[in-house]
C-alpha cells in the first residue's frame, strides 16, 4: 500500500501548499535552549561557588531550563534552589507552613524503570525545615548535608536531596556548570495513530513487533490507545468514505484483526474520521465550510460515524485548516459551527458509552478555527497537533511549549494530549528532541502524548518514550 502523505496528522500538507518558506521563517521566534550533552563518565562532586571567571549554574529538567526567580546558591559544596519552582516542575503539590517554617511536597505517582515493569510507585512525601538539616521522606527521618534557607523571600532547598527523594536522577556537569535533572517515569497515555504504509513503514509491524499477522511486544507495552486513520469525511454529502484517493487511506481488509489485537494487548481502539484538503488557491477547501453550515450533511455524518463506531471504544475527529485567513464574523461563525458539529457527534457517542477525542491545530498556528474552551467542554480528549511550524526537522521547543500552555489555559490539563510528529528515516523529532517534548508534557501535567504515526517512529525514539512514560 502507498504511504500516507496527505493525512492530516502527517504534516505534509504544508509541503504540498508551498508554505515551507513561511514555516521556516517562524524559527526566527527562537528556541528554548536545549540541555548540553551529558559529560562522559560519572558525575563529579557538587559545584564550587562561582568565581570571577565562572558562569552561573543552570538547571535543566528533562532537557528544559528551570527558570528560577532567585538564582541557585552554593553552600558547603551543595546547590540550593527555590523550593516551589523545582517541586512544581517535578509535578509535586506543595505547601509552606509558616508557623513551622517547613516546606511540604507530595510528588506525583511514578512507575518503576522499564526493566522492572510498569508497577506504579506511590507518591513520595517530603518535609524540609528551614535552617535544619533534618528532613522527612515518607515519614522517615533523613539528614541533609546543608539546611534549607530563605534568600530574598524564597525558600531554597538542596536540589540533589530533594530531587533524589522524588526519584529523579540528578547529575552535575563540571565542564558546563550545569545540573541535569531527569524526572522519574510517569504513567501517562500514549495515543498512537495507525495508518496504511508500505513494507518498510508498516503500522502493524511497529505496533506488534512482527510482520502481519505475527505479534510480539513491539510498542504494545507503552501504547494505551490506537487510532485507526481509515475513515474520511466527504463534506459534499456528509458520508464517511472507506477508500479515499486524496488521503491515500482506505479501511484495509484485515481491519477487524487490527482492532481485535489491540484489545488483546489492552489497548483501546478508536476510529479516526478526518478531512484535510486544500482548495485550488492554496487555502482551505471551502467545501468544509459548506458542510458545517448544512444541517442535513452534518446529521448524515453523525449517523454514519455512529454506525462505524460500534466496533470501537471511541472516535477521533480531525477536521483541519479551519479558519485559515478568516477574521471577524466569518471566523466566529466557523468556530461556532464546528462546536455545534462536535457537540452533535459527542452527544451521539456518549449515549452509546463511547468517547470523542479531537485532533486540533494549536492556538499558535495559522488555523484559528477552533474554540478550544468550548470544545474542551464537549469532547473527552483534545490532541494538540504541535507541529507544522517547520517543514522538516524537529519542531521549535518554544512553539510546542507555547501551544501546550495556551491549551492548558482553556482546557483542563487532564483532557489534553500533546501530538508529536515523526518521519521516515529518523525525520522530524530526533531521540534527543523527543525527550524534551515528552518532558514538556510531563512538566505541564497533561494526560499524555500522541504519535503520528505508527510505522515511522523507530526503536530509538520508542525507547525514549519507554524510559519516560508507561501505560496508566
Work out the burial of residue 281: count CB atoms within 10 Å of its CB; fewer than 13 is exposed, 13-18 middle, 19 or more buried.
exposed
CA distance 383 to 381: 7
Across the range 45-63, mean pLDDT stands at 77
Q: Identify which of 450, 469, 459, 467 has the alpha carbon closest to the alpha carbon of residue 194.
A: 450
Q: What is the DSSP letter of 122?
A: P
Please tell me the distance from the alpha carbon of residue 286 to that of residue 301, in angstroms, as a whole number: 18
Lowest mean pLDDT: which of 174-178, 205-209, 264-268, 377-381?
A: 174-178
- At CB < 8 A and 24+ separation, what contacts does 124-129 make? 124/165, 124/166, 124/167, 126/162, 126/165, 126/166, 127/102, 127/103, 128/83, 128/102, 128/103, 128/157, 128/162, 129/100, 129/101, 129/102, 129/103
The CATH number of domain 8-30+186-470 is 3.40.50.300: no
User: Using 50, 70 and 90 to split pLDDT, how confident is the model at 47?
Assistant: low
* Domain boundary assignment for the chain: 8-30+186-470, 58-175
Per DSSP, the three-state class of 353 is coil
Note the pLDDT tens digit of each residue in 283-323. Answer: 999 999 999 999 999 999 999 999 999 999 999 999 999 99
Please, which pLDDT band fits residue 14 given cuts at 50, 70 and 90?
very low
The answer, yes or no, to whether residue 338 has pLDDT greater than 90, is yes
**pLDDT single digits (tens) 179-201:** 999 999 999 999 999 998 888 99
Residue with cell 513491539: 218
* H runs (alpha helix) in 244-327: 255-264, 287-292, 295-309
pLDDT tens-digit readout, 377-390:
999 999 999 999 99
Enter the pTM of the model: 0.88
Beta strand extents in 396-460 (DSSP E only): 416-421, 448-452
Assess contact for 199 and 126: CB atoms under 8 A.
no
Residue environment code for 376-392, b if the CB has 16+ CB neighbours within 10 A, otherwise e: bbbbbbbbbbbbbbbbe
Fold of 58-175: Copper Amine Oxidase; Chain A, domain 1 (3.30.457)
Say what the pLDDT of residue 49 is. Answer: 60
Amino acid at each position: 500500500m502507498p504511504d500516507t502523505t496527505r493525512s492530516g496528522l502527517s504534516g505534509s500538507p504544508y509541503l504540498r501548499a508551498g508554505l515551507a518558506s513561511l514555516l521556516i521563517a517562524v524559527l526566527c521566534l527562537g528556541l528554548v535552549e536545549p540541555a548540553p550533552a551529558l559529560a562522559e563518565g560519572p558525575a563529579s562532586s557538587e559545584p564550587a561557588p562561582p568565581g570571577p571567571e565562572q558562569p552561573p549554574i543552570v538547571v535543566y529538567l528533562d532537557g528544559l531550563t528551570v527558570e528560577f526567580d532567585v538564582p541557585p546558591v552554593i553552600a558547603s559544596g551543595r546547590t540550593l534552589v527555590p523550593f516551589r519552582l523545582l517541586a512544581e516542575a517535578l509535578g509535586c503539590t506543595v505547601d509552606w507552613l509558616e508557623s513551622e517554617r517547613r516546606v511540604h511536597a507530595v510528588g506525583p505517582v511514578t512507575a518503576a524503570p522499564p526493566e522492572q515493569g510498569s508497577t506504579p510507585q506511590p507518591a513520595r512525601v517530603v518535609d524540609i525545615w528551614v535552617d535544619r538539616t533534618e528532613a522527612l521522606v515518607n515519614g522517615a527521618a533523613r539528614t541533609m548535608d546543608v539546611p534549607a534557607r530563605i534568600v530574598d523571600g524564597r525558600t531554597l532547598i538542596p536540589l540533589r536531596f530533594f530531587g533524589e527523594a522524588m526519584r529523579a536522577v540528578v547529575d552535575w556537569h563540571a565542564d558546563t556548570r550545569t545540573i541535569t535533572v531527569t524526572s522519574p517515569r510517569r504513567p501517562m497515555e500514549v495515543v498512537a495513530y495507525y495508518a496504511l504504509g508500505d513494507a518498510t513503514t508498516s503500522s502493524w509491524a511497529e505496533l506488534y513487533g512482527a510482520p502481519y499477522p505475527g505479534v510480539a511486544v513491539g510498542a504494545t507495552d507503552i501504547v494505551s490507545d490506537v487510532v485507526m486513520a481509515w475513515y474520511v469525511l466527504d463534506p459534499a454529502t456528509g458520508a464517511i468514505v472507506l477508500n479515499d484517493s486524496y488521503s491515500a487511506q482506505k479501511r484495509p481488509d484485515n481491519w477487524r484483526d487490527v482492532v481485535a489485537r489491540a484489545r488483546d494487548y489492552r489497548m483501546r481502539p478508536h476510529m479516526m474520521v478526518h478531512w484535510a484538503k486544500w482548495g485550488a488557491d492554496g487555502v482551505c477547501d471551502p467545501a468544509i465550510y459548506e458542510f458545517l453550515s448544512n444541517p442535513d450533511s452534518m446529521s448524515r455524518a453523525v449517523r454514519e460515524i455512529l454506525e462505524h463506531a460500534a466496533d470501537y471504544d471511541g472516535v477521533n475527529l480531525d477536521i483541519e485548516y479551519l479558519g485559515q485567513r478568516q477574521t471577524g464574523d466569518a471566523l466566529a461563525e466557523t468556530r461556532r459551527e464546528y462546536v455545534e458539529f462536535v457537540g452533535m457527534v459527542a452527544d451521539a457517542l456518549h449515549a452509546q458509552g463511547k468517547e470523542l477525542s479531537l485532533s486540533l491545530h494549536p492556538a499558535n498556528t495559522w488555523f484559528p478555527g477552533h474554540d478550544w474552551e468550548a470544545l474542551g467542554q464537549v469532547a473527552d480528549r483534545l490532541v494538540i497537533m504541535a507541529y507544522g511550524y517547520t517543514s522538516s526537522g524537529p519542531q521549535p521547543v518554544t512553539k510546542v511549549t507555547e501551544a501546550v500552555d495556551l491549551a492548558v489555559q482553556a482546557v483542563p490539563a487532564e483532557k489534553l494530549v500533546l501530538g508529536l510528529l515523526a518521519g521516515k528515516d529518523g525525520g522530524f523529532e530526533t531521540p534527543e528532541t523527543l525527550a524534551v517534548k515528552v518532558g514538556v508534557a510531563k512538566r505541564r501535567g497533561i494526560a499524555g502524548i500522541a504519535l503520528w504515526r505508527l510505522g515511522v517512529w523507530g526503536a530509538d525514539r520508542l525507547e525514549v518514550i519507554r524510559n519516560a512514560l508507561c501505560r496508566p
